[in-house]
Amino acid sequence: MYNKNVKMAKYSKEELINLEKNIINRYNDNELPFLFHLCGGNEDELIRIFDKIKEGDWVISTHRNHYHAYLHGIPPEEVENRVANGRSMFMYDNKRKFFCSAIVGGVPGIAAGIALGLKRKNINNKVWCFVGDGCEDTGHFAEAVRYVDGWDLPCTFIVEDNDISISATKKDRWGSAHTPAWPSCVERYQYKLPFPHARTEDFCDLKKTLEHLKTDDEYFPHEPSYTDFDFNASSEELCDISNNCESYGDAVKTAMTALGKEDTLFFGYNLGENFGNAMGTLSGVRPEQKIETPVAENLMGGLALGASLVGFKSVVYYERHDFMLVAADVIGNHINHLERISHKEFVPNVILRTVVADGGPFYSGPTHSQDLTSVFKELVSFPVLEPKTRFEVIRHYRTAQKIKGPYMIVERKSCYS
Ligand SMILES: Cc1ncc(C[n+]2csc(CCOP(=O)(O)OP(=O)(O)O)c2C)c(N)n1
Ligand SMILES: [Mg+2]
């Protein structure tokens, strides 16, 4: 059974089954007015896989995470307590390096980013990213796998294939039961889940169960870290810096160069040393800090978020707002909510640097010149700032540099000219 003094938890098949039974009992006692997903049928496979997982390795999971959590050393009473407080789908533990998302396709890009961060920091640990066959359906999975394989990142994806997404098989979903061939960073095991998709076959007494329900804010207090910083503090110094910049673009370059002096990674396309330096604004940043990415905007955000979880400051460069809609999941669901849903276990230290093409010499049409700033302000609860002057550029980027938390800065091409 679980022993606080051993580095990894070891369980027998029967013990795992009994831990889930404790949760079933609480559900039958009408104590769980929540969406939760039980684990079962894969005990032998997981015991075998977790034998290879070392202390310090990251385990990334899904909505169905209880077994992974027990086996990665989260004490069972802690898991049970979280399940009893609406947090079954929100199992996070920074000390033990446990992370998850209940959004199908949400984790592979973040897992790739953590792996990239570990490799860059020469940390001798790896990432184990568990996904269901439903996640394997997604483009987000495909882009992350290709990235991990291409850059040889320390990450293994394990497809937990029960041939069910809610209640539809692969044949129901794709017209054929065929499973794609993936590179060697993807492993698979098959199993049969002895439960329905969520909860159990039996329905609880809803009236009694709902007596236990607290409020959203009680389960997930909302106290973001970005409110701590007073960005007016050093206005005089900022004035001096911005007065020394010749233009708006020069101020952006000054801000990027300052960010590059720290442990910062820059992600995006057209920003690498030989690929444009993000309209020249990254020419003061060391080449190895500029990561030229594939044209995969959600992956770009996932890489940035993941790398920030292992200690980097990340800047993602999105060169047009219409392209950012492709990254709505990582921005709106993950970067935006992570601090709150993880009870501050993880804070995304990410700056989204975004450009509105509202000017410049070439008109690029209705989609490419969209300004979705108001949409993003609705979508996220972290600051979305729109510097219009050199001073504001310096002030907002300086603030974003100091704060450990997400930030979006909207640059306008019309200000560049
Ligand atoms: C993006 C997204 N779409 C739909 C859902 C609803 N949903 C939750 S779990 C699930 C099925 C996932 O199947 P799989 O990945 O195979 O995991 P399993 O439940 O079989 O363990 C779906 C469609 C979701 N959470 N996220
Ligand atoms: Mg499945």
Going residue by residue through the chain, which has 417 residues, state the pLDDT in tens, using 9 for 90 and above: 444 444 457 899 999 999 999 999 999 999 999 999 999 999 999 999 999 999 999 999 999 999 999 999 999 999 999 999 999 999 999 999 999 999 999 999 999 999 999 999 999 999 999 999 999 999 999 999 999 999 999 999 999 999 999 999 999 999 999 899 999 999 999 999 999 999 999 989 999 999 999 999 999 999 887 665 555 556 888 889 999 999 999 999 999 999 999 999 999 999 999 999 999 999 999 999 999 999 999 999 999 999 999 999 999 999 999 999 999 999 999 999 999 999 999 999 999 999 999 888 888 899 999 999 999 999 999 999 999 999 999 999 999 999 989 999 999 999 998
Closest of 134, 142, 145 to residue 170, by C-alpha? 134
Do the beta carbons of residue 62 and residue 102 sit within 8 Å? yes
Does pTM surpass 0.85?
Answer: yes
Domain 13-215 classified CATH 3.90.79.10? Answer: no
Three-state SS for 287-343 is: HHHEEECCCCHHHHHHHHHHHHHCCCEEEEEECCHHHHHHHHHHHHHHHCCHHHHCC
Residue of minimum CA distance from atom 3 in ligand 1: 104
Give SS3 for 98.
strand
Residues in contact with ligand 1 by the CB-under-6-Å rule are 63-64, 102-105, 132-135, 162, 164-166, 197
Q: How far is the CA of 34 from the centre of ligand 1 (A)?
A: 16
Return the structure tokens found at 317.
């460069």
Question: 189 C-alpha to center of ligand 2: Å?
Answer: 11
**Separation between Cα atoms, residue 75 and residue 72, nearest integer Å:** 9
Residue nearest to atom 1 of ligand 1 (CA): 104
Q: Which of 63, 65, 136 to mutate to test the pocket of ligand 1 (most atoms within 8 A of CB)?
A: 63
Backbone φ/ψ region at 4: left (φ over 0), alpha (ψ -120 to 50), beta: alpha
In contact, 346 and 310? CB cutoff 8 Å: no
Q: Which of 165, 167, 334 to mutate to test the pocket of ligand 1 (most atoms within 8 A of CB)?
A: 165
Query: By the 8 A CB rule, do 393 and 252 touch?
Result: yes
> Quick one: which ligand is closest to 166's CA?
1
Q: Which atom of ligand 1 is nearest to the CA of 136?
A: 15
Which residues, 6 or more positions from 54, have their beta carbon under 8 angstroms from its beta carbon?
8, 125, 126
- Rounded to the nearest whole angstrom, what is the distance from the C-alpha of residue 161 to the centroid of ligand 2? 6
Q: What is the pLDDT of residue 158?
A: 98
124 CA distance to ligand 1 centroid (A)?
A: 32
Contact 351, 313 (CB under 8 A): yes
Residues of the chain with CATH 3.40.50.970: 13-215, 225-416
Chain-centroid distance, C-alpha 50? 23
Q: Which two tokens stand for residue 226?
A: 């970005």
Nearest to 125 by CA among 52, 51, 58, 50: 58
Quote the CA–CA distance of 254 and 261 in Å, as a whole number.
11
Q: Taking the CB of residue 150, how many other CB atoms lie within 10 A of it?
A: 11
Q: How far is the CA of 406 from the centre of ligand 1 (A)?
A: 27
CA distances from 23 to 27, 81, 210, 212, 365 (A): 6, 10, 17, 15, 55
169: nearest Cα among 188, 197, 143:
197
CATH architecture of 225-416: 3-Layer(aba) Sandwich (3.40)
3-state secondary structure of 234: coil
